Amino acid sequence: MENIEALREEVLAEVEKAGDLAALEDIRISALGKKGRITGLMKNLGKMDPDQRREFGQALNALKDQVASAIDMRKGDLENAALEARLSGERIDVTLPSRPSETEGRIHPISQTIDEIISIFGEMGFTLAEGPDIEDDFHNFTALNIPAEHPAREMQDTFYLPEAEDGSRLVLRTHTSPVQVRTMQSQTPPIRIVAPGRTYRSDSDMTHTPMFHQLEGLVIDEKTHMGHLKGCLLEFVKTYFELDDVPVRYRPSFFPFTEPSAEMDIGCSRKGGELKIGAGDDWLEILGCGMVHPRVLAACGLDPEKYQGFAFGIGIERLAMLKYGIPDLRTFFDTDLRWLKHYGFVPLDVPNMVRG
């Protein structure tokens, strides 16, 4: 029994002096491991008579429990001390002033381009309109004169959400045209809006991404005609590209929601392998447009015998790439801070018609 008491004092003293978790683990193994001192004493119980074995065994079990408890307590103290040391060493003083050369943020080119476009059309009397990214079939397809068999409705082109109990399916909008539908349903003409936002299509390569940005414009009143559309878009491209003269042409096209429909091209030069917007011997497609289809007006609750108007759609990434020389569409979404530092804009560089 004297050996047990001496061993208790020795082991507990070692536990108390342990300076780190590794030293504490060595003590635990030396005392309670398979070849430990306390374990070694337990092996002697078989040589004792029953009364002595009972008394000695109870004393050893009490010693074992006491040492294990002391080790656990010491382990907790050491872990807390290690955590405090780490917190102290990794402490950051958030009251320190920022370092502008290291922490100055940048406005993404897409955000900047949207602000530029809104600023230009705002001067023409357009107001901003927005809508949900998740749409129903009516607003995204049916109201826009897109028939049930149209390829745009197919799974390979469109991101559908799980089918509802009634069999209907919501969809990630494939264009911002549903905002036009909602505006025509909720407002009485005259209407003059631009609707920027994210759109989604199942496509991905150097010039396409599954999520991209569009801005669509809509004008509805009783007298608007194709000449107004052409003048509005000509003024936009001249202002956006900051050029006094930009050659434009319109090629017949087809969109279900406009009739007649057209693609708008702007003049450019590709001499020396460099694209330059303006007077040149080549053309570059820039946007799609047309007069709003009478069926779309009727689907939105407007009388096509009384009202008419025009609409246009612009790819925002495409405009940003053309103006700022960004070669690959996919880099817009790579979250590369080096790219953003190079192509981004300082936060106070707010575009307007005075500053440009």
Residues 128-140 pLDDT 10s: 999 999 999 899 9
Q: Are residues 207 and 306 in the same domain?
A: yes
Domain that residue 195 falls in? 109-343
Residue 97 lies in a domain: no
Task: Report residue 4's pLDDT band, with 50, 70 and 90 as the boundaries.
Answer: confident
CA–CA separation, 207 and 124 (whole Å):
31
**CATH of residue 320:** 3.30.930.10
For residue 22, pLDDT over 90 is answered with no
Residue 350 lies in a domain: no
For residue 356, pLDDT over 90 is answered with no
Residues 286-295 pLDDT 10s: 999 999 999 9
Q: Are residues 72 and 154 in the same domain?
A: no
Number of domains composing the chain: 2
Q: Are residues 73 and 182 in the same domain?
A: no
Angstrom CA distances, 40 to 7, 35, 45, 47, 269, stand at: 12, 6, 10, 13, 92
Residue 294 lies in a domain: yes
Residues 238-276 pLDDT 10s: 999 998 888 999 999 999 999 999 999 999 888 887 888
Tell me the whole-structure pTM to 2 decimals.
0.66
Residues 32-48 pLDDT 10s: 777 777 777 777 666 77
* Domain end among 42, 57, 89: 89
Q: Are residues 119 and 244 in the same domain?
A: yes
266 has which bridge partners? 248, 284
Residues 218-241 pLDDT 10s: 999 999 999 999 999 999 999 999
Q: Are residues 253 and 327 in the same domain?
A: yes
Residue 100 lies in a domain: no
Q: Are residues 70 and 121 in the same domain?
A: no
Q: Are residues 169 and 83 in the same domain?
A: no
* Domain end among 89, 118, 137: 89
Residue 103 lies in a domain: no
208 has which bridge partners? 205
Q: Are residues 121 and 218 in the same domain?
A: yes
Task: Look at residue 92 in the predicted model and tell me its pLDDT.
Answer: 77
Residues 65-111 pLDDT 10s: 888 888 888 888 888 888 888 888 887 777 867 666 656 788 999 99
* Range picked from 117-121, 153-157, 346-350 for highest mean pLDDT: 117-121
Q: Are residues 334 and 234 in the same domain?
A: yes
Q: Kindly report the backbone phi and psi dihedral angles of residue 195, in degrees, each rounded to the nearest multiple of 5, phi listed first.
A: -130, 95
Stretch 20-25: mean pLDDT, rounded? 84
For residue 208, pLDDT over 70 is answered with no
Q: Kindly report the backbone phi and psi dihedral angles of residue 314, in degrees, each rounded to the nearest multiple of 5, phi listed first.
A: -125, 135
Task: Look at residue 259 in the predicted model and tell me its pLDDT.
Answer: 92
Q: Are residues 158 and 65 in the same domain?
A: no
Residue 356 lies in a domain: no
Q: Are residues 72 and 118 in the same domain?
A: no
Task: Look at residue 189 in the predicted model and tell me its pLDDT.
Answer: 92
Residue 96 lies in a domain: no
